[in-house]
């Protein structure tokens, strides 16, 4: 599949939106995460709308809520917005408590479309792989960066895997399952 100029536009927009954002543990530019999520999604069969949504999956949640959603709709269409919304745990400021947000997200994930599940799986795989790298570099201190701590993170990622496995026995979900198992065994 050849990506159109829409993907390039989404890449530039994502870079602009997240320019000042860094990853929690490593401090690397947040764009690196977005690029990896889009790459994972493309490697596992994403179409262009899914790949665009993968680049922008955190835009509403982290960079402006409803106003950013409206801009995404205008620039990239309803399909992209639906996928981004499916990946968003909250667009409210301040955000609701961590556990409530995650439980609500998991409830929505149970009935999510295949496009949302693909993007979520790609996002969570990159997050877990980043956590594994962070653990190797920083040890137990890595959990200090997460509201739910070690137990909350493991509960959340294992529940995501369980929900995804009920729908999809894809290589991506299996890879996520293996990565979560590694995290659990640390």
Catalytically annotated residues? 61-62
- For residue 46, give the nearest of 89, 80, 8, 87 by alpha carbon: 80
Beta carbons of 54 and 46 less than 8 angstroms apart: yes
CA diameter of the chain: 44
Measured CA to CA, the distance from residue 25 to residue 146 in angstroms comes to 9
> Can you spell out the DSSP letters for 4-64?
-HHHHHHHHHHHHHTTT-B-TTT--BHHHHHHHHHHHHHHTT--HHHHHHHHTTTHHHHHT
- For residue 183, give the nearest of 154, 152, 155 by alpha carbon: 154
Residue position matching structure tokens 């790949």 = 51
């Amino acid at each position: 599949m050849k990506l159109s100029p829409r993907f390039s536009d989404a890449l530039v927009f994502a870079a602009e939106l997240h320019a000042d954002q860094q990853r929690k543990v490593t401090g690397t530019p947040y764009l690196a995460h977005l690029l990896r999520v889009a790459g994972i999604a493309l490697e596992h069969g994403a179409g262009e709308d899914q790949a665009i949504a993968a680049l922008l999956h955190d835009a509403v949640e982290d960079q402006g809520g409803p106003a950013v959603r409206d801009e995404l709709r205008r620039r990239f269409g309803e399909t992209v917005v639906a996928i981004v919304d499916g990946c968003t745990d909250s667009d409210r400021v301040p955000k609701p408590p961590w556990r409530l947000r995650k439980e609500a997200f998991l409830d929505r994930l149970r009935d999510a479309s295949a496009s949302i599940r693909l993007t979520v799986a790609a996002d969570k795989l990159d997050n877990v792989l980043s956590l594994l790298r962070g653990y190797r570099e920083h040890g137990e201190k890595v959990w200090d960066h997460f509201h739910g701590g070690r137990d909350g993170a493991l509960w959340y990622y294992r529940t995501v895997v369980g929900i995804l496995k009920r729908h999809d026995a894809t290589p991506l979900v299996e890879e996520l399952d293996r990565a979560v198992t590694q995290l659990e065994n640390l």
